[in-house]
Amino acid sequence: MATPVDSPLIAVCGAHMQGLPLNTQLLERGATFVEAVQTADCYRFYALAGGPPFRPGLVRVNECGAGIAAELWALPAARWGDFIALIPSPLAIGTVLLADGRSVKGFVCEAYAAVGATDITALGSWRAFLARQAG
C-alpha cells in the first residue's frame, strides 16, 4: 500500500497496535494503519517489567531469533517529534527489519531491559501473549 511522502512508516508490535491501550497516541496524531507485517527472524521478544500499560521489548539478535507480528502505520512527519517524546526508556525508535526485506523505523528495546524479562519470542506476537495472560 502506498503511503504519502510526508507520512513515514513506523512499525509497532505492542501496546500501540490496533485496539490496544496506546493506539490512541497514533490516532491522535493522524496516523493511519497500513498493513499487518512480520519482522525478519532476527529478533527476541520480551514482556517487560512495569505497567500498566504493559509493553513488550523487541531486541535484535545474531542468532536464535524469530519473526514477530507487527503493524505498519503511516505517521505524519510533522507529528513524529511529539510522538517520540512519549516513548519511555528502555523503548526507542530504531530500524526494524521485516520478513519481506524492507527496513522501516519502529519500536525496539535496549538490550539491558531483556535481562530478567519474560522471553515471549515463541508466542510470536504481543496479542498471543495478552491472550495467554487473560487465560
- For residue 19, the tally of other CB atoms under 10 A from its CB is 6
pLDDT in the model for residue 6: 86
Whether residue 3 lies inside any domain: the answer is no
Percent of the chain beyond pLDDT 70? 96
What is the average pLDDT value for the chain, to the nearest integer? 95
**Higher-confidence residue: 115 or 5?**
115
Whether residue 134 lies inside any domain: the answer is no
pLDDT above 80 for 4: no
Whether residue 132 lies inside any domain: the answer is no
Whether residue 17 lies inside any domain: the answer is yes
Whether residue 79 lies inside any domain: the answer is yes
**Domain CATH number, residue 57:** 3.10.490.10
pLDDT above 70 for 117: yes
Q: What is the dihedral of CA 73, 21, 38, 130, to 10 degrees?
A: -170
Whether residue 56 lies inside any domain: the answer is yes
pLDDT in the model for residue 41: 98
Whether residue 123 lies inside any domain: the answer is yes
Which tens digits make up the pLDDT trace of 49-64? 988 899 999 999 999 9
Residue ranges making up the domain that contains 26: 9-127
Which tens digits make up the pLDDT trace of 71-94? 999 999 999 999 999 999 999 999
Whether residue 42 lies inside any domain: the answer is yes
Domain count for the chain, please give it: 1
